[in-house]
Each structure stands twice: as structure tokens, then as C-alpha cells.
Amino acid sequence: DICAICETWLPKDLSSGIRDDLCPDGYKIIDVPRNNHGGGVGIIYKENTKLVQSKTIKYDSFELLEAVITTNNEQVRIAILYRPPSGKPKLFLEEFDTYIDSLTTTSGKLLIVGDVNFHLDNPNSDCLRFLDILQSHNLIQHVSEATHKLGHTLDVVITCNDELELLDLKVD
């Protein structure tokens, strides 16, 4: 009942009425727009979903929206992140590591989704460092097929070990 979106391209000054019109009946949207052209992250979710947007630190190298979803007395912390391809990989790796460290004091099961703009299928040193950060925090990246039209894996679905059961992960 939720849809995480990278690169929403919604301007900061877009009225809430127009934002609401983007959603199907019975759904709402929360988003973090980019200050300039492009980018942005958001979640479209069913109105009866117990979802609360979390306050997060603003990072220079990636865009982030975090929310807590409560279902059946269980909490899931979902983070949607987008690293623009023009960003500096080293800064992203430092900030991402800091962000992941900050999650050790939060409650709820963890789900991180987004576009990191690394070729995870053909790792270079920056990509290997990203994967090392995940491994050192007991995180698993579940996407194993191409998510880009040129055949690379740029998008992630990350959980803490097998804390969340992913029943049907498909790339279309």
C-alpha cells in the first residue's frame, strides 16, 4: 500500500492540492523536493496507513525521506534515498556511513530503497566501499538484476539481515 519514488521532480513551491491530485483516490503523498531542477524523493501511501515522516539530517550528497510505518504492532522504518549521478562518490560514502550509523539508535525494522547511481553489477572501488558499509552494518542489498535501461543495477532494496521478509521482489 506504499510506493517509494526517486526523482519525483516535484518543485518545492507546488501546492498541496496539486500534490494530492497526483495520487489515486484514497492515497496521500509526502515528499522532500530538491531546491532546484529534478531530483526529489517521495512516498505515496494509502490514507489509512499509519505513516509518520521522520525528521532527518540534510545531507549534501544524497536526498533522503524517512518515515515510520506502524502495522500490526510492528514498526518499519523506511528510508528513500537518491544520490544524483553528478555527486561526489567519496562524500556520499562518508555521509551514507554516518547515516547508517545513526540508525543504530532508532526503533523498528529497517527498509532502505532508492537509487545510489553505482553500477552494483560491475563494482569499482567506490561501489565496493558502499557494499562494505552495508556488510559492516549487517545490511543486505536484495536487488540482483538490472534496473537501468543500459543493463546496470543502480537501485537498491536494503534490509537488516533478513529482518523483513521480501516475498516478491521484481524489477520491471
Residue 171: its pLDDT value, please? 66
User: N- to C-terminal Cα distance for the chain?
Assistant: 18
* Residue type present at position 154: L
Kindly give the confidence (pLDDT) of every residue in the chain, 172 residues in length, as a single tens digit, with 9 standing for 90 and above. Answer: 889 999 998 888 888 888 888 899 999 999 998 877 788 999 999 999 999 999 989 999 999 999 999 988 889 999 999 999 888 999 999 999 999 999 877 888 899 999 998 888 888 889 899 999 999 999 998 887 767 877 777 889 899 886 776 656 666 7
pLDDT at 113: 94
Name the residue type at position 70: T
On whether the pTM is more than 0.85, the answer is yes
pLDDT score, position 169: 66
DSSP for 26-46? TEEEEEE--SSSS--EEEEEE
According to the model, what pLDDT value does residue 11 have?
Answer: 86
